[in-house]
Amino acid sequence: MQLTNKKILLAVTGGIAAYKAPAIVSLLRKQGAQVKVIMTQAAQEFVTPLTFQTISGNYVYQDLFDKKPASPLVEHIELAKWADVFVVAPATANTIAKFALGIADDLLTSVYLAHRSPLIIVPAMNTFMLNHPATQENIQTLRKRGHQVLDTQDDLLACQDKGAGKMLEPEDIVDAIDTCLRPKDLIGKRFTITAGPTQEAIDPVRYLSNYSSGKMGYALANQAKKRGAKVTLISGPSHLPRPKVDQFIEIKSTLDLFDAVEKNFDQSDCLIKAAAPADFRPAQIANQKIKKLSQGAGLNLELVKNPDVALHFGQLKQDQIIVGFAAESQNELENGRKKLESKNFDLIVINNIKRADAGFQTDNNAVTLLDQSQAAEELPLMSKEDLANIILDRVSDMFITKANTK
């Protein structure tokens, strides 16, 4: 996430979900954001202002005519000016209705009419209140104004009704804030990103595979989506949470991967090949589980070569940008250069798989970037999310260069 020094104005209204709001503030602070909190009178029935003051490190604003030390500033205007993003979590049906009608009878609703930053509304209420035609019309009114009204969760509610209306978790809300504040330099661009390992079946219970976790490809997909791209993620087997992309395609084998890329390649502006497909597969897949042989006897498997997905689409490339990865254990730069040229990549990401603190199944990576100019950029150890953004920065620059040379 990239929230360092971002100014977040969080409004908390009077619903039971207010108990989750301190966790939102805590997560934002851990990401380096500055947070100021507005509380309605009803919100203070659930959580105390002191809680938010302690976690945020800032005064908590409660009343349009506040009795805090005298200030010459018009508070609701200054708060509106201060914020990079204005978030209401939880947002009750009452607050949503006031926003829709333009009623300004307290500090929060007055800030709403004066606000000039993006607004994120996070509803939380009983299912029947949420589904009432009046609430639904008010939500649509706010969306038509360009405000972002997040969805709710389906679950057992505090009132013991079961259905929609539960507020999103603090992590999801902070993720929405991060997405809102990202520069949207990839709007209009279509990305196909591959991730994870492939599995080549031996029999109904065994397969050949590798140690890829999919973390790098998933990070690229998440960050590209945050920056406005339309993202198709083609993923081999992975235990990672499914990212919020436009299209998610699950595959198992390298042949599956080939077919999925083929179906999406022509419509893509950029193909990022972060998957680790198997180079070989068994020539025959046994229909039944292969039993152990006699004592001391081994098992011979005949392997055949899989199609070279990177080479194939590199040869088909027209106006697309292709980013490849090279997992090397020796002569990394030399082998990376050969792969860049032979497979017609625009950019290759080279990493040494022998490093214990980077690469497969870790949250970090240390790589060298190499482009068609043959200029190598060695990057230090960093999170895969940070690396994903550096790679996407390079791709964004390539899009600009291509546009300027047409």
Binding residue ranges: 279, 289, 325, 339, 343
Cα distance between residue 194 and residue 189, in whole Å: 16
Instruction: Locate 80 and state its tokens.
Output: 């509106």
The token duo for 223 is 């960050």
Cβ(157)–Cβ(126) below 8 Å? yes
DSSP 8-state code for residue 241: P
What is the b/e burial string over 46-66, where b = at least 16 CB atoms within 10 angstroms of the residue's CB? bbebebbeebbeeebbbeeee
Alpha carbon distance 321, 323 (integer Å): 7
The question of whether 270 is a catalytic residue gets the answer: no
Distance between CA atoms of residues 256 and 241, nearest Å: 21
Instruction: Pick the catalytic residue from 158, 159, 205, 316.
Output: 159
- C-beta of residue 151 within 8 angstroms of C-beta of residue 94: no
Supply the Cα-derived Rg of the chain in whole angstroms.
26
Q: Which residues are annotated as a binding site for CTP?
A: 279, 289, 325, 339, 343
Q: Kindly state the helix (H) or strand (E) to which residue 34 belongs, with its residue range.
A: strand 34-39
Residue 134 has a CB neighbour count (10 Å cut-off) of: 12
Residue at token pair 């895969």: 384
How many residues does the structure list for the chain?
Answer: 406
Number of other CB atoms surrounding residue 263 within 10 Å: 13
Give dist(CA 15, CA 90) in Å, integer.
Answer: 7
To the nearest 10 degrees (0 to 180), the angle between helices 384-405 and 215-226 is 50
Segment holding 230, helix H or strand E: strand 230-235
Contact 165, 130 (CB under 8 A): yes
Residue type at 50? L
Q: How far apart are CA 118 and CA 166, in angstroms?
A: 23
Enumerate the active-site residues: 159
